Every structure is written in structure tokens, then in C-alpha cells.
């Protein structure tokens, strides 16, 4: 297998294992965790920008670019907060549901905002996923807001980034840079008020909280390296690794309840994922030009 495949596998595996890290620091309020994640990520990304993989990315700042990335920054901050809050409050299974349906939300947003046309089996996949989410809402009498919130914020973030001119590392550097000062001010205020967690920790635990920077940046760098080396169709399949790992962690490691009703709802969503992935693979295979044979090969 190519090096790009292993980069992609590493990125999605790390994203899938994120709940382990966030539960290790669940004693820190979610809003402070996100602020630390922004601050330490930005500082590390400034250093990462010096690496060969990122050095080629140039940032040409205009009012439009700043506005676009400001919107992306708000969306990713909300997504991060919702995800960390959900994990630290033991909703890991529901976060996995959110990231299972995110690719389908991406496709649906493309239809609504970019006037993209869906193929028949893409509509089938969306219908199956909607049926699963709707079933869970009916059975439990409550909409799975965490899953929907994660899928819509990350899907909309992807929609915004589709129009963004910068590469992955440069874009996230700008996004976290726009959030850096507000996050730093917030952390300073809570520490001065005596409600901050960071300065009351021992050095080892401080380092664990500050690790939010590399924890955020490493999979991004691996992902950026992967997309340069392997087809997007392969990325499309690899993206389901993360929610699968999250689901297994939630049910097998953290022993979150998973009822028969949830199994039925998830079965619809998993069926949607299978249909969506299979349809994409077959469509790309059929669209490839037939190999041209030399006369000597007949």
C-alpha cells in the first residue's frame, strides 16, 4: 500500500481515538478545553508552517478571505465545543452517529447551496440515513441533537472551505489565528476570576491539557499529506474509520448504553454508509477511461 494510504489511515485513526484524550481531561470545563485547543493549536501550527508540506502554502489575505475564514473559524469552534462537551458528558456513541451521517450531509448541502445533482443511489443513502435518525427521534421522543449538530456544523464548515483558497494547514492556521486572541482573553479572564483550571494543575497535567495543540494538528498534517498522494475516492472510504472507532470506544470501552432501538436506528445509518460508499466506488470505476492497448497487445 502507498505511503498516502498510511497517512490517511493514521489521520482518521487519531480522529477516531480522540475520545480517549478528551475524557482524560474531562475535569476541565468544555469551553476552557476549546480555548486551550485553539491557543496551543495556533502556536504549534505557526511552527508546522515551516515544514516542507506546509511551506508551499501561501496566505494572501484580503477582506473576502478573512471573512470566509472567520465564518469557518466560528463553525469549527462550535463543532469542537459540541464534540468535546458530548465526549466529556458520555455521549460518544451519539458523536459517532454524527460523523457517520456527515458525508451525507455534505452531499445534501451541495444540492441545496451548490445546485449539485445527486444520483439515484445517493438519494437512497440520504433517505436511509434520514430514516435512521427519524426512527431514533421517535423511539426516544427526542431528536439526536448532538449528532445533527456535529454533522451540520462540520458539513457547513466543509461547504465554506470548498470556496476557501488556502490549503489545509494554512487555512487552519488562519482560522485558529482569528480565534487566538478571543481564546487567550477568555482563558486570562477565567484564571483571574479563580474559575480557570489550567494554573491550578500540576505540571504534568498542564502538559496534558497543552497537548490539545499537537492532538489537533498531527492528524491534519497527516491528512494533508494523504490527499496529495491518494485519490479522493480512497479518502471517502477512509473517513468512516473515525466514527467506527468512536462507536466501538463508546460501547466497548466506556460502556455507554446501546439498546436494540438504537441498533435499529444505527442499522439504517450503516446501510446508508454502505450504499453511499459502494455507489461512489462503482461510479468512479465506471468513469475511468478504458486502457488503450498497443497493437502488440491484441
Question: For residue 1, what pLDDT is reported?
Answer: 60
Whole-structure pTM value: 0.87
- For residue 20, what pLDDT is reported? 96
Smallest CA-to-CA distance from 73 within 169, 145, 180 is with 180
Which position has the grid cell 463508546?
A: 250
Q: How far apart are CA 188 and CA 195, in angstroms?
A: 10
DSSP H/E element including 162: helix 145-162
* pLDDT tens for the chain, residues 1 to 298: 678 888 889 989 999 999 999 999 999 999 999 999 999 999 998 887 766 555 555 667 788 889 999 999 999 999 999 999 999 999 999 999 999 998 888 888 888 887 878 888 889 989 999 999 999 988 877 889 999 999 999 889 888 887 878 777 788 888 999 999 999 999 999 999 999 999 899 999 999 999 998 898 888 878 877 876 776 556 767 888 999 999 999 999 999 999 999 999 999 999 998 998 888 778 777 766 554 444 443 2
CB atoms within 10 A of CB 245: 20
Closest Cα to residue 187, out of 173, 198, 203? Answer: 198
Amino acid at each position: 500500500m502507498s505511503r498516502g494510504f498510511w497517512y490517511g489511515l493514521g489521520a482518521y485513526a487519531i480522529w477516531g481515538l480522540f475520545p480517549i484524550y478528551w475524557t482524560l481531561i474531562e475535569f476541565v470545563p468544555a469551553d476552557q478545553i476549546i480555548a486551550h485547543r485553539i491557543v496551543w493549536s495556533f502556536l504549534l501550527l505557526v511552527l508546522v508552517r515551516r515544514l516542507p508540506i506546509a511551506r508551499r502554502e501561501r496566505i494572501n489575505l484580503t477582506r473576502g478571505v478573512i471573512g470566509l475564514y472567520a465564518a469557518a473559524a466560528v463553525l469549527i469552534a462550535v463543532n469542537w465545543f459540541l464534540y468535546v462537551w458530548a465526549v466529556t458528558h458520555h455521549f460518544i456513541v451519539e458523536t459517532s452517529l454524527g460523523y457517520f451521517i456527515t458525508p451525507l450531509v455534505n452531499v445534501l448541502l451541495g444540492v441545496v447551496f451548490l445546485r449539485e445533482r445527486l444520483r439515484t443511489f445517493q438519494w437512497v443513502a440520504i433517505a436511509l440515513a434520514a430514516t435512521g435518525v427519524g426512527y431514533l427521534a421517535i423511539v426516544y421522543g427526542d431528536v439526536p441533537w448532538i449528532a445533527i449538530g456535529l454533522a451540520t456544523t462540520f458539513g457547513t464548515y466543509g461547504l465554506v472551505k470548498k470556496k476557501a483558497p488556502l490549503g489545509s494547514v494554512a487555512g487552519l492556521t488562519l482560522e485558529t489565528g482569528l480565534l487566538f486572541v478571543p481564546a487567550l482573553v477568555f482563558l486570562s479572564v477565567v484564571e483571574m476570576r479563580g474559575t480557570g483550571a489550567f494554573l491550578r494543575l500540576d505540571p504534568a497535567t498542564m502538559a496534558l491539557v497543552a497537548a490539545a495543540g499537537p492532538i489537533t494538528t498531527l492528524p491534519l498534517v497527516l491528512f494533508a499529506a494523504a490527499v496529495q498522494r491518494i485519490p479522493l475516492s480512497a479518502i471517502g472510504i477512509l473517513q468512516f474509520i473515525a466514527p467506527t472507532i468512536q462507536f466501538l470506544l463508546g460501547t466497548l470501552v466506556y460502556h455507554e448504553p446501546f439498546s436494540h432501538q438504537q441498533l435499529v436506528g444505527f442499522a439504517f445509518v450503516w446501510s446508508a454508509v454502505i450504499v453511499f460508499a459502494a455507489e461512489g466506488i462503482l461510479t468512479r470505476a465506471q468513469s475511468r477511461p478504458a486502457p488503450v492497448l498497443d497493437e502488440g497487445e491484441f
